[in-house]
């Protein structure tokens, strides 16, 4: 991030949360599960599927992780009761990965069992690099016991190609994204085009293996690149879906949907919306610029 952008984000962090909320709400369904259910219903009515995410990073205690797990169970129940075409995405640290790996594993098993009962699916999100290896390690354990679990890989990480090589040996269901965290150059590509090139390279590696992939991006270049791969390989529609974040590039979302490709929207909700919103601004400082201008009446 440039100095100006990081200054903008720092400025936004100084603002009252009520002001940030006015801008953040575009990207978050609301604070309660019911808000996410309403959004998922509206998406389903347009033929778009959803994945629900309970905003629960920075979990520090076993009790907090237990509460997050309970909320995940409530999400699965609500999806079932409302007959939604939606699944669940989980950040591993929200279920305790940073506290105790075995505890995380136990929580995930409970959630996956419940999801199985409802004939539903759970995607394990990928967080920052201290958790990459353990997330993959525990995902593989879970995948050997459950067929309703998938993982996320990040094309900015140099290790991803070799992770796919390993994961391709099992029947892995992937989401491929660029990666949202700030990582050191030793382990991550920093150049925008290198991240894109690696994305398309890894996407082909996954598709050529016959694995299912969620193509998670709003980048026109990558959407076009993915569409070309899909067309050239005459890829069946049951082998891929596009994925985007709630509130981002809705015109592109609708076009992909109109063109007959499956598209899933990531719908975050919860009381911990602030950290998520600040991370979105770090990712896209245009949002921070917009807030700063409005607050300072520069428009
Ligand atoms: C469904 C889904 C799930 C994801 N899960 C993970 C995960 O588990 N782990 C992880 O590290 N990352 C995850 N990400 C984030 C991802 O890694 C990228 O950081 C993010 O998608 C931006 O990259 P991009 O490919 O859209 O390209 P960019 O070049 O960053 O974006 C293209 C354009 O889209 C718009 N845009 C992109 N992002 C935003 C935003 N946040 N707010 C407003 N506008 C935006 C901007 O106009 C931008 O110019 C996920 C993304 C999606 C879509």
pLDDT digit string, tens, across residues 185-211: 999 999 999 999 999 999 999 999 999
What confidence score (pLDDT) does residue 264 get?
98
- Burial of 150-178, coded b for 16+ CB within 10 Å and e otherwise, reads bbbbbbbbeebeebbeebbeeebbbbbbb
Q: What is the pLDDT of residue 16?
A: 79
- Which mutation among 188, 279, 284, 287 tests ligand 1's pocket best, with the greatest number of atoms within 8 A of CB? 284
Amino acid 24: pLDDT: 77
pLDDT of residue 6: 72
**pLDDT tens-place string over residues 132-184:** 999 999 999 999 999 999 999 999 999 999 999 999 999 999 999 999 898 99
**Which protein residue's CA is at the shortest distance from atom 21 of ligand 1?**
217
pLDDT of amino acid 25: 80
What's CA 72's distance to the chain center, in Å? 15
Residue 80 burial by Cβ neighbours in a 10 Å radius (0-12, 13-18, 19+): middle
Question: CA dist 208 to 133, 233, 234, 235, 243, Å?
Answer: 24, 9, 12, 10, 20
- Ligand 1 proximity of 179 Cβ (cutoff 6 Å): yes
Per DSSP, the three-state class of 223 is helix
Phi then psi dihedrals of residue 114, to 5 deg: -65, -45
- With H, G, I as helix, E, B as strand and everything else as coil, classify residue 161: helix
Residue 175 known to be catalytic: yes
Asked whether 180 lines ligand 1 (CB < 6 A), one says yes
| Lookup: tokens for 165 | 């090589």
Q: What is the pLDDT of residue 27?
A: 87
pLDDT beneath 50, residues of the chain: 298-299
- Whether residue 92 has its Cβ less than 6 Å from ligand 1: no
């Amino acid at each position: 991030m440039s100095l100006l952008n990081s200054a903008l984000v720092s400025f936004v962090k100084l603002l009252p949360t009520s002001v940030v909320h006015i801008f953040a709400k575009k990207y978050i369904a609301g604070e309660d599960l019911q808000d996410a259910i309403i959004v998922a219903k509206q998406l389903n009515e347009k033929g778009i599927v959803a994945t629900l995410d309970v905003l629960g990073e920075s979990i520090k205690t076993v009790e907090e992780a237990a509460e997050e797990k309970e909320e995940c169970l409530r999400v699965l129940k609500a999806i079932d009761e409302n007959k939604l075409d939606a699944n669940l995405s989980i950040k591993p640290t929200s279920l305790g990965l940073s506290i105790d790996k075995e505890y995380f594993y136990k929580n995930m098993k409970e959630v996956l069992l419940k999801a199985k009962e409802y004939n539903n699916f759970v995607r394990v999100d990928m967080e920052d690099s201290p958790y990459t290896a353990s997330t993959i390690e525990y995902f593989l354990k879970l995948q050997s016991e459950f067929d309703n679990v998938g993982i996320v890989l990040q094309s900015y990480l140099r290790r991803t190609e070799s992770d796919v090589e390993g994961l391709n040996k099992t029947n892995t269901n992937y989401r491929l994204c660029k990666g949202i965290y700030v990582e050191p150059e030793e382990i991550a590509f920093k150049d925008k085009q290198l991240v894109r090139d690696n994305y398309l390279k890894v996407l082909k590696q996954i598709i050529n293996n016959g694995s299912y992939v969620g193509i998670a991006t709003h980048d026109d270049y990558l959407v076009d690149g993915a569409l070309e791969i899909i067309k050239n390989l005459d890829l069946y529609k049951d082998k891929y879906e596009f994925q985007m974040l709630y509130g981002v590039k809705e015109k592109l979302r609708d076009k992909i949907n109109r063109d007959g490709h499956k598209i899933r929207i990531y719908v975050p909700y919860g009381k911990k919306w602030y950290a998520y919103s600040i991370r979105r601004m770090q990712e896209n400082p245009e949002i921070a610029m917009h807030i700063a201008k409005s607050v300072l009446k520069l428009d």
